[in-house]
Every structure is written in C-alpha cells, then in structure tokens.
Structure 1
Amino acid sequence: MSIPLILASQSRPRRDVLFSAGICPTIRVSHVDEPAALEREAAALGVTVNDLSVEQRVMILATAKAEAVHQAYRNIADTAAHARGERVVGFPLRAADDRDASSAGTAARTDSAQSADETKTRDFSGIAIPTVAEPIADFVDGRPSLTRSKAGPLILGCDSMFLLDGECYGKPHSEEVARERLRAMRGATGELWTGHCLIDFASGRMVRGASKATLHFCEYSDLDIERYIATGEPLEVAGSFTLEGFGGAFIDSIEGDPHGIIGLSLPLARRLAAQLGVEWTDLWNVTRSDLAPDAEYDAKTGAAKPLPPKENVHQPGDGWVDCACGRKHWGTNGASGVLLARRSETTGEVTHVVMQHRAVWSAEGGTWGIPGGATADGESPIEGALRESYEEANITPEDIDVVGSYCEDHGPWSYTTVFAFEKPGHRVEPKANDDESMEIEWVPVDDVPNRKLLTAMRTDWPNFAARLRALAAVR
C-alpha cells in the first residue's frame, strides 16, 4: 500500500497538481488564523509582521498549517489508542429474512448523493442477527492504523505570497483590492513564493523549504482587468492571478519553478519527502485510468453516464462499493461514525446524544443519523469515525472517551458505530462544519425515536440505546 499524503489545504489547484502527478491526497483544512500566526511569530522574533520577509511569511504559514493538521491527527490517534470496551460484530446478511430473502439490503450510512433505490438503507428490525464480540484492544492489535504506521502519513502544508515592488500580497478577497493590485502588476515583474512544510506522522520529523518563481506580466488593458475580476478567479488566489486559469494568458514569461506558482512545487515536495526517507513513488496511489476513467453507460438508453466530479472525492477511501447484498455502499475501506453520549453529572445516566440532520442532497436526505463517513487509507475504523465526526460535527476527539463499537459486516464492506462519552469535566460543542449536515445538535435520548431517522439508525436505535445505558451503568 502507498504511503498516504494529507494536504493541509482546500486549494483545488494544489490538489489537482498532486492528482495529475499520481497522488490523490487526503484533504484536511487547517483552519489556521493566518494574521494571528504571523503576529505570534513576529512577536517571538521581536519584530513586526512588516519586518518579515516574504520567504519568512510563507514558511511561517505553511508550518502553522501542517502543524495544526498534525495535532488534529495526533488527538484522533491518541483517543483511538485509548479505546476500551467490546467490539461487537453483526452479520445481517447471514440472517434468514423471510420477508425478502432474495434482496438483502444494506445499512450503509453514506456521505454522497445517489439514487434512493441504490442507497436507501435496509430495515433489519425483527431479524435475529448473529453476532460475535471481542475486546477492542484485541481487534486493534496488528491492524493498520495511524499509531502503528512505520512511515507516514505525510502531512503537507503550503502557503503562497506574491512580492511586487517590495510589497507582499496574499489573497485580495475583494474586487477593489484585486483591481488595485492588477493595475500595479500590469507590465511589471514580481516573485511568487510558496512555502512548504512536510511532517511525517509516524516519526514526528518535519522538513521545510520554499520555492520561488519570477513572473513577467504583459501590458493588459483596463477592460481585461474588469473582465478578469468578473470571473471571480483573482479574488481568492495569492497575488490576484493564476497560471493555470484565466490569468495565465497575461503572464509573458516565467523564470524558476512553475509548479510553485500554482501553489505546490512538485520538485521541492519530492526533495522534502526524500529528506524524510520516503521515495516519491511510494506516494503514488493514482493510475492512468484514474486520470481518465472510462465512461459507464446506461443499460437502457446506451447513453454515457456522467462521471462524478473530482470534488466529491476528498481522499483515498472515498467511492462506492457494489456489495454482495446488491446495494451500493460509500467507502472503499468501509465507513464509520461516532455515537456520542452525554451523561448526567449527578446520576451518570445517558441524557443526550449527538445527532446529524442529513443534507437533503445526501442519501436518505432530511433524516437524522450520526456523523461519519468513509475510512481513509491507513486509518482504523475508530480513527476514521473520530476524524469524520470532528470534521463534520466538531466532535473534538480530545474531549471524549471511546467505550465500545458495533460493526455491521457485509463481507466486502462494513460500517462501524463507535460509542463514546464526553470525558468527565469536558464539554463537546457540536456544530455543522460542512454542507453534509443541515444541523448537528444534542438530542435528548427520549426524543431520538421521534425524529425521522435514517433507516439503519431507526433499526439499530433500540439496541444502541440499551448498550449506551449499560455502558453508562459501569462507568
């Protein structure tokens, strides 16, 4: 298996540069407060931000982004490593179903939109599902996970700035600022700097470097500027221009590293990986067919089906699995989610659980379930559940204890529900962090059955509620 690469950026151009070079990265946004990060480092050096060189600035921000994502993964790995309790595995497809023996369904909890016929989850209520149980620690031992990796995943943070006439330019964010900068750049020469910070999660080692390219701009017109601004492209890119987009035609020539202009220097990233003892080709996880996938055709009409947009695939592990049950499940490595419970400070009884109101566009949209998603390459199901619930619902892993799990095993695919409690004295403040949720909230346990639940959650809730009560009684 290749070594996973985590890109601490939501930049589509950076992701595309890596993908075209054979690497599908895991995308993890750092949420770094960039002005605050620069202020802190400048204060530590006894200078002001204006005294920092452009190289210092991009290196400070690239490092801050990589370190933030590294810490988030460290919190996930630490919480998963301290998981306790039983792992119960259920095998619903082995159970006889007199109601519909020929079409065993699925308990898929999916993250992406598909037709209801393919992804609507199966109601297994009333079916005696065979189960086995084992200590979570026994299952974790010897299996792939973040804490057991000998190399990687590698975490890459990047930041770019444009230097023109001694001024450092980041993203303009507004039309007025973009217009002013584009006028100043007309016929001028400037430098695009990109800082890179690469951290090996397994060893904790960090290496850094910066790329530079000199750009010569043509004498474009005021009309060109207005039309370029109207595209929206220059508003959210460093220096107010791109090489690979609408702005590329206005760059007459380049000296230096062209990849750095897009925001990620492949040659520099390769050299940094080598410093960590990682061969660049060990990061390859994309084939030529992935770069230009073959079209699928409708059996009835013969028309080509549209390919899924790249933005629907955020990491290795995203994708649909055709299960033996005849349905599609999300997650080529399986999927998982966190059922987080809050207990009374006086009685210790479970009072609330965190629930996700699923986006309308998702499978069984508008229903309530738990936050979760596909397990990424190199993760354990518990680590994947903790990561997904943090990203989607702001369930901070350092504030919870994992106390058990239930794995619904379909053979080629499985879904793991991770049971967790808030740590004593800690408070989790859930919220919707992306468009996969309409809302995330603490729901009173007695109110859960009254919600319009995802089919699988409606089926599982009686057993899940009983297990949470039992777990709370012994802790």
Structure 2
Amino acid sequence: MTVRLYLASTSPARLSLLRAAGIEPVLISPGVDEDEAVAVESLRLGRPLDAVETVSLLARAKAEAVIGATVDGEPIDGFVLGGDSAFEIEGDVLGKPHEPAVATARWAQMARVGHGVLHSGHHLLDHRGGVPHQGASATASARLTFADDLTDAEIAAYVASREPLEVAGAFTIDGLASAFITDIEGTPSAVVGLSIPVLRRLFRQHFGVEWHELWPTDL
C-alpha cells in the first residue's frame, strides 16, 4: 500500500519536484503568515533569525498549520510535508520580494556580489491514522554563482516577466533565471525549494519508510 504524502504548500516548483520523483502528493494550503511568524519568533529570541532558523521555522509552521485538516471530507492520513526557502547574500536573508522595485534591487545586489546561498527547510510530520505524531526537520543548502556580465537590461526584462516576485531570493533556477546562474554547489533540487535526497533520508531515518513506498503501486 502506497504511503500518502500531503504537501502543505502552494508551490508549483515543489509539486513538480515530487511528481518528477514519482510521488503524487495531496495539496493543502497552509495559510501561514510568514512575516508574522518570523517576527514573533524574532521577538521571542530577542534577535533576528538567521537563514537556517527562518526556513526551519516556516517549514514546521506550514506542516503544523494543517494538523487536523480534512480533504474531501476525510481526515488526512499519512505524512505532511512543510517546506520553505530563503536566499542569503552578504548576511541578508531574502524571502519573496513581492514588488518589482524590491526584486530589481536584489538582482542588482546579486549581480554585484556574484554569489549567494539558497537554504531550503523541510519538516515532515507523521499524521497517520488521522492524528499528529512525531515530526522531523532538516535543511539543505546550495551555493549559487551568478553570471559576471549581467546587464541592467537583462535584470529589468527578468523582473518585468514577474517570475521573480513570488519566489525566495527573486529567482527560479528552473525558469527564466536559469540563464543567469552559472554554477551550483549542492543538491540542485534544494535550489528549486525541496531537497529530494533530504526528504528520502527523513522518511527512512525517522519513520522507517522506504522511498519507493511513496510511489504509486502502478509505477
């Protein structure tokens, strides 16, 4: 029997990654106010969160936000995956820019510095039997190098496409920005927003579930 995975995310990129890896998750929107969650935790700690803390916090918040949810009237019965990503450059932790002016400023910084690190957080929650049990978290990071000859015209055209507005760091390696990223050190899927090898390890080490158990029986 196939182990069911629920994806507490609205990210098309994470969905595509899982499907390419042979998994068809059930989608649930977590509805988490990311800025508020980070602000509350920063206030509790008395300092800003670093990039790894940020993605870990939000991945867990998204998974836990759907505890007790139902899909088509039925309680969720399987594992819930929450994920989040943030880009770190010169010590700055960058999430989604939302506004064209912000995206333009970030790309100007990336073009000037030439490199940064993309962090992806994962929280896997055991929700078998319709009730939450234990959870396990892990992060993955990858260093990216940007083209050293990026022009203002290229940046303006990319921002005008609106692709970078709702993604961490204002770029997508699997989209139009692929032409501007020259090198990746680390797991490529982590740059898209979800490390497939990390997820496999979480299932095996913490829950005793083998990766192929998530594949459909007719695969």
Q: Same fold (TM over 0.5)?
A: yes
- Tell me what 1:231 maps to: 161
Q: Deviations over 1:312-358 (max 9, x none)?
A: xxxxxxxxxxxxxxxxxxxxxxxxxxxxxxxxxxxxxxxxxxxxxxx
- Tell me what 2:127 maps to: 201
2:142 corresponds to 1:213: yes
1:213 CA drift (Å): 0.2
The code of the aligned residue for 2:172 comes to T
- Tell me what 2:189 maps to: 259
TM-score (normalised: structure 2): 0.91
1:233–1:241 Cα contact (<8 Å) kept: yes
2:32–2:61 Cα contact (<8 Å) kept: yes
Give structure 1 regions of 4+ aligned residues with deviation exceeding 3 angstroms: none
Which of the two has greater helix per residue? 2
- Once the two structures are superposed, the pairs formed by residues 432-447 of structure 1 within 5 Å of their partners are none
2:69–2:75 Cα contact (<8 Å) kept: no
TM-score (normalised: structure 1): 0.43
1:220 CA drift (Å): 1.0
Instruction: Describe the SS at the equivalent of 1:70.
Output: coil
1:146 CA drift (Å): 4.7
Higher relative contact order (CA 8 A, sep 6+): 2
Q: Deviations over 1:162-218 (max 9, x none)?
A: 000000100000110000000110151100001100001026110000000000001
The code of the aligned residue for 2:208 comes to G
1:243–1:251 Cα contact (<8 Å) kept: yes
The code of the aligned residue for 1:164 comes to I
Q: Distance in 2 between matches of 1:286 and 1:36?
A: 41
The code of the aligned residue for 1:281 comes to H
- Tell me what 1:15 maps to: 15
1:71 CA drift (Å): 3.8
- Tell me what 1:222 maps to: 152
Q: Deviations over 1:68-123 (max 9, x none)?
A: 012435xx8xxx8xxxxxxxxxxxxxxxxxxxxxxxxxxxxxxxxxxxxxxxxxxx
2:68–2:75 Cα contact (<8 Å) kept: no
- Once the two structures are superposed, the pairs formed by residues 64-143 of structure 1 within 5 Å of their partners are 64-73=61-70
> What is the RMSD computed on CA atoms of the aligned residues?
1.8
Q: Distance in 1 between matches of 2:108 and 2:171?
A: 12
Q: Distance in 2 between matches of 1:62 and 1:18?
A: 16
The code of the aligned residue for 2:212 comes to T
Instruction: Describe the SS at the equivalent of 1:24.
Output: coil
2:87 corresponds to 1:157: no
2:77 corresponds to 1:63: no
2:3 corresponds to 1:6: no
1:160 CA drift (Å): 0.3
- Once the two structures are superposed, the pairs formed by residues 5-404 of structure 1 within 5 Å of their partners are 5-45=5-45, 47-48=46-47, 50=48, 52-73=49-70, 146=75, 153-186=78-111, 188-202=114-128, 204-218=133-147, 219-274=149-204, 275-285=206-216
Q: Distance in 2 between matches of 1:38 and 1:72?
A: 23
1:146–1:153 Cα contact (<8 Å) kept: no
The code of the aligned residue for 1:9 comes to S
1:287 CA drift (Å): 5.7
Q: Distance in 2 between matches of 1:24 and 1:285?
A: 8
Q: Mean Cα displacement is larger for which, 211-220 or 64-73?
A: 64-73
2:96–2:169 Cα contact (<8 Å) kept: yes
- Tell me what 1:375 maps to: none
Instruction: Describe the SS at the equivalent of 1:249.
Output: helix
Change (3 A) 1:223 1:195: same
Gaps spanning 5+ residues in structure 1: where? Answer: 81-144, 289-475
2:30–2:65 Cα contact (<8 Å) kept: yes
